[in-house]
Amino acid sequence: MYIPYGHQTIEEDDIQAVANILRGDFITTGPAAAEFEEKTAAYVGAKYAVTVANGTAALHIACLAAGIQEGDEVIVPAITFAASANCVLYCGAAPVFADIDPVTYNIDPADVERKITDRTRAIIPVHFTGQPCEMDEIHRIAAKYGLLVIEDGAHALGAKYRGKRIGSLHSDMTIFSFHPVKPITTGEGGMAVTDNEKLYQRLLLFRSHGVTREESLMEKNEGGWYYEQLELGYNYRMTDIQAALGSSQLKKLDRFLARRRELAKRYDRAFEGVPGLVTPKQLPDTESGWHLYVLQFTEADRNKVFADLREAGFGVNIHYIPVYHHPYYRKHGYQDVYCPNAEELYSRMISLPLYPGLTEEQQDIVINKVLELSKERS
Ligand SMILES: *Cc1c(COP(=O)(O)O)cnc(C)c1O
């Protein structure tokens, strides 16, 4: 029996929602995409939402909408999926890595402040594992230095910071991913949300070739066929097939989150106080989306534990390799970057299986194996 670290939950009504689109007139971006945008914006508490082909595309158009360009620096956490930093490189700008907080594993606001230069234009806090970053502190720093904030909420759809959902914290923009392991899925898919109408218009432009038919944005109007390309945009549109799946999944999000929280609590109860294990800590006043359950092994040899868990048939994983470790980054000026907290976490952590469809019987098998392996001293 193979138990992956993450897995989508697709039910009969999700399949029906997709089939209905395939029988209709619109299969690419149409009314279902508009409906998914409206429903997600209402759910997270943002004014505007723009669906896109994937979360990486959402990060890219958010950086473009923010006007990030060559010569700019954008501060990102050292521990994240590479896309959070790659989006800055796509714009010709330079990601600057801030270390993580050793307790929450999220970007450390104090290190963000230390990494600010006169080239810094924006901060991309990543709500790692679904646990919200210390957004009050990040907003305070952003306001003090005149920086934009683009939240990477790929793990955090439905998560709450001080009672408010991620997406409603009045950052300039927030992005979400609908990859199959994420809180809800559209196969591939992403979304950027904002309260700012100008940024919203720019997100729309960059999603679709930089083209508009919006009269107020055009230089002139030569007739009903007429449109203008105002920016160098992309084709990052989401299909209605995906969007219909998204709307159907969104209805289940609270149920999925409750189940993830329950399973995370069971892991906590099993591992808390066990010598050699460090369970993930929650900030008071936050509600994690529990995208990942990251366990630290402080005594056993992490690499051996990882290999043994894989051998046992568990699709455990490591989230993430510090981004600046990657050969591409080392070859492009990042060879001397070193974030000590990120390094320590990276050397000790393993992400255990966590997804709504995981049964307690399966989880108990994982728990027993982890407890057995944690006793082996390196
Ligand atoms: C998944 C993920 C992304 C990118 O999302 P895709 O939809 O896979 O392109 C960005 N940031 C983080 C932190 C992610 O986990």
Q: Which of 128, 151, 182 to mutate to test the pocket of ligand 1 (most atoms within 8 A of CB)?
A: 182
pLDDT at 328: 98
Measure the CA–CA gap between 181 and 353, rounded to whole angstroms.
11
With a pLDDT cut of 90, the percent of the chain lying above it is 98
168 CB near ligand 1 (under 6 Å):
no
Measure the CA–CA gap between 303 and 349, rounded to whole angstroms.
9
Residue 280: CB atoms within 10 A of its CB come to 23
Ligand 1 atom showing the smallest separation from residue 84 Cα? 11
Over residues 310-351, the pLDDT tens digits come to: 999 999 999 999 999 999 999 999 999 999 999 999 999 999
Q: How many Å lie between the centroid of ligand 1 and the Cα of residue 151?
A: 12
Classify 324 as helix, strand or coil: helix
Catalytic, 182? Answer yes
Query: Within 13 A of 266's CA, how many CA atoms are on the CB side?
Result: 21
55 CB near ligand 1 (under 6 Å):
yes
Whose CA is closest to 122, among 99, 100, 93, 159? 93
242 CB near ligand 1 (under 6 Å):
no
Instruction: Give mean pLDDT, residues 181-187.
Output: 98
Q: How many Å lie between the centroid of ligand 1 and the Cα of residue 376?
A: 34
Q: How confident is the model at residue 378 (pLDDT cuts 50, 70, 90)?
A: low
Q: Which domains does the chain have, with CATH numbers?
A: 3-250 (3.40.640.10), 253-374 (3.90.1150.10)
H or E segment to which residue 173 belongs: strand 173-177
